[in-house]
Amino acid sequence: MDYNSFEEKSARRAREEKVRNFHVNINQDDLAVGERYRQLENLDEPQPESISSFSDDDIRKQMKKSSHNQAKEELKAAKKQQKYIDRQNRRTFRFIWWASVVIVGAMIAMFVIVGVNDMLAVTRPADNSVKISIPENPTLQDVSTELKTKGVISEQGFFETYAKLTKNEKFSQGDYEIKTNMDYEAIINYLALMSNRTDTINVTITEGMNVQEMAALLVKKRVLSSEDHFLELCNSDYFDEDYKFVHNKNADKRYYKLEGYLFPDTYVCYTNERAELTITRMLDNYENRVTTSQTVEGYKHAVNVKKIAKEKKLNMNKVLCIASIIQAEAASAEDMYNVSSVIYNRLSRGAESDVYRLELDSTKYYPYRKRSKIPLDIRGSFKSTYNTYNIKGLPAGPICNPGMEAILAALYPNSTDYLYFCHDKNGNPYYANTFEEHQYNLQLAGLA
């Protein structure tokens, strides 16, 4: 055998045996990683033609990069989905919003149309009158409810809106008879006039009443709800600006500043009216009576009190003060002129006959009519500053509210020498020039 041939054969057999015994041992996890790696779509580097081997660090980096890219894709998809949902929501919201606008607009239009028709009284029946009653201290809702209930208006809310916009939210208590075909403006104007009220009360303030007696009568007649506010106003500056004649230098010494200026008469008042209105009505009457010419029974010509007082150089405060005493003391119109002469005589020449004070019973307890009217808690200690038994001259102000006859008597006293007078129980007068004569008259009158 050829040695070279034998060597070749041996070498060939060895290579074949080596090939048969050769095994590639690849871990299954490595295969999975490789497969995952090949599936990555966003790798910038080209894939290797064959897998030889990877380290653990390389695999982790590839996995991290793959997870990051996948998260980016998922986030992008989620944002896209959210944008789609937002677009759908906006479309739905816009639809609902426009639908609401249309519905609300239709409702407002209906409200306006119906309200305007009611405001202009288009739908309300003509020539129909109803009686309404507005309570004390009414709110706008109180008024609108009453008007709605009685058929004067149909749209209560629209009426209240109209009243607020036109700043007519305040109303006064009262009973009214009102037509149902009046528009809102006419209704408001009608209710603003006190003269349209039907709950009127005739109150007669008689000559000689003082403010306390007036207050009690007005409450009794239901013109006022209480006496307190009326009395407070009678001693306040509330009316000074509108009525200059109530100004006087000794106002702080008066019990009631307006005493004497509340002219006695019959007044048409209203139930539970404001005391300011009641007093204003009386002051207006006084101003008219004393500043304009008046026809008075027993006088040939019309008389102007203020003009006469000016001619006689008398201020009206003094005239009213004397007139109030005459009104309280005299028994008749004729008697007034003699009583007036007694007052003037005592003031001018009383001292000549040892008569230094007027000493008139009507002044002793003012502002009360008599001692029994003084409150019990002060009756024992009360001393009137108007008491002409204690003071010289006239009181600080009138003691009551005199009528026209008493005022004229204060302007035109009879010419006498009388310094004393008295009356019996029937009102018959007795006059005297001296104290002795007066004592005799007291016996005749049954007073001594």
Helix (H) or strand (E) holding 134, with range, is strand 129-134
Burial of 12 (0-12, 13-18, 19+ CB in 10 A): exposed
Report whether 334 contacts 297 (CB < 8 A): no
Mapped onto helix, strand or coil, the DSSP state of residue 346 is helix
Diameter of the chain measured on Cα atoms = 206
**Is the distance from CB of 215 to CB of 224 less than 8 angstroms?**
yes
Calpha distance 448→441 (Å, rounded): 9
DSSP per residue, 93-119: HHHHHHHHHHHHHHHHHHHHHHHHHHH
Residue 18: band (very low, low, confident or very high) from pLDDT cuts 50, 70, 90:
low
Mind listing the pLDDT tens digit for each residue in 138-172?
Answer: 999 999 999 999 989 988 998 999 999 999 999 98
**Tokens, residue 249:** 């230098």
Contact criterion met (CB below 8 Å) for 191 and 259 = no
Residue length of the chain: 448
Cα 128 from Cα 115, distance rounded (Å) = 21
**Between 140-149 and 156-165, two packed helices, what is the crossing angle to 10 degrees?**
140
% pLDDT > 70, the chain: 81
Q: Once rounded to an integer, what is the mean pLDDT over residues 66-74?
A: 75
**421-448 CB burial, b ≥16 within 10 A, e <16:** bbbeeeeebbbbeeeeebeebbeebeee
* 211/234 Cα distance (integer angstroms): 8
Q: pLDDT-derived band of residue 41, with 50, 70 and 90 as boundaries?
A: very low
Residue 117's pLDDT band, with cuts at 50, 70 and 90, is: confident
Range in 126-130, 153-157, 204-208 with the lowest mean pLDDT = 126-130
Q: Are 246 and 262 in contact (CB under 8 A)?
A: no
Q: What is the dihedral of CA 287, 290, 291, 296, to 10 degrees?
A: 130
- CA–CA separation, 402 and 134 (whole Å): 36
Q: Are 302 and 292 in contact (CB under 8 A)?
A: no
Count CA atoms within 13 Å of residue 96 on its CB side. 6
Residue 31: is its pLDDT beyond 60? no
Mean pLDDT, all residues of the chain: 86
The most confident of 11-20, 33-42, 66-75, 418-427, by mean pLDDT: 418-427
Beta bridge partners of 179: 129
In tens, the pLDDT along 265-285 reads 999 999 999 999 999 999 999
Amino acid at 44: D
Q: Is there a contact between 341 and 415 (Cβ–Cβ < 8 Å)?
A: yes
Q: 446: phi > 0 → left, psi -120 to 50 → alpha, else beta; which?
A: left
Residue pair 124/180 in contact by the 8 Å Cβ criterion: yes
pLDDT of residue 297: 85
Q: pLDDT tens, 389-403?
A: 999 999 999 999 999
45-58 tens-digit pLDDT = 454 444 445 566 66
How buried is residue 396: exposed, middle or buried, by Cβ count under 10 Å (0-12/13-18/19+)?
A: buried
Residue 92 pLDDT: 75
Does residue 363 contact residue 396 with C-beta atoms inside 8 Å? Answer: no
pLDDT computed for residue 3 by the predictor: 47
- Residue 264's Cβ-count burial label (10 Å; 0-12, 13-18, 19+) is buried
